[in-house]
């Protein structure tokens, strides 16, 4: 099991999440997910602000420690609508769901936010952390991350055929890697 370092909630953020049934967690002690499998079960990634935000299903990612910080790494393809939200925001959230999980992840993974408000279509309620980061009240766990690094994969550095084959016929384009420091974590 991978343990993630303790992060303290920003002042005032606790109250906003508490009113939706979330409690801050000390991820070093309370994050019990298997880091090798957590992203394989698909999660939601959200970014933006109160004027414009979007979420998408993600199945790639990692958790651990980088630069002495608790870190989450996520990947967003070039043509995904969420990418412009990620590039314009300092923070993002990663969310896990129990209730309606399959319905939410399927819809968020197959529909584009360019065509309409996906959260509204699913009856999800968007709330915002103290940093203005969007998350859904219906989630069971939310990790809020501050972006520390972002860069697209450069095909000249692919060392074997796995990434070359992945992108040979991938219409959404090469992924950008975002590494975020976990600054808040909540669980119901």
pLDDT digits (tens, 9 = 90+) for 127-149: 999 999 999 999 999 999 999 99
pLDDT at 15: 52
Domains of the chain: 13-187 (2.30.110.10)
pTM of the model: 0.89
Distances (CA, A) of 141 to 98, 124, 146, 147, 159: 9, 15, 17, 19, 35
pLDDT of residue 157 exceeding 50 = yes
pLDDT at 17: 67
Average pLDDT over residues 94-114: 95
What is the rounded distance in angstroms from the CA atom of residue 131 to the CA atom of residue 108? Answer: 23
**How deeply is 26 buried, as exposed, middle or buried, from its count of CB atoms within 10 A (0-12, 13-18, 19+)?**
middle
**How deeply is 165 buried, as exposed, middle or buried, from its count of CB atoms within 10 A (0-12, 13-18, 19+)?**
exposed
C-beta separation of 124 from 138 below 8 A: yes
pLDDT of residue 126 exceeding 90 = yes
38-55 tens-digit pLDDT: 998 899 999 999 999 999
């Amino acid at each position: 099991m991978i343990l993630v370092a303790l992060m303290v909630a920003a002042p005032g953020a606790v109250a906003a999440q508490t009113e939706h049934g979330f409690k801050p967690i000390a991820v070093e002690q309370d994050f019990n997910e298997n880091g090798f499998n957590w992203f394989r079960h698909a999660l939601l990634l959200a970014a933006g602000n109160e004027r414009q935000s979007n979420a998408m299903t993600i199945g790639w990612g990692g958790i651990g420690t980088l630069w002495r910080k608790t870190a989450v790494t996520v990947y967003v393809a070039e043509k995904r609508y969420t990418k412009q939200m990620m590039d314009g925001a300092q923070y993002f959230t990663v969310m896990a769901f129990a209730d309606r999980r399959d319905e939410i992840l399927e819809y968020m993974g197959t529909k584009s936010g360019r065509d309409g408000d996906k959260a509204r279509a699913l009856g999800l309620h968007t709330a915002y952390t103290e940093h203005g980061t969007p998350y859904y009240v219906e989630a069971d766990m939310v990790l809020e991350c501050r972006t520390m690094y972002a860069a697209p994969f450069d095909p000249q550095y692919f060392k074997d055929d796995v990434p070359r084959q992945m992108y040979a016929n991938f219409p959404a384009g090469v992924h950008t890697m975002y590494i975020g420091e976990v600054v808040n974590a909540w669980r119901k």
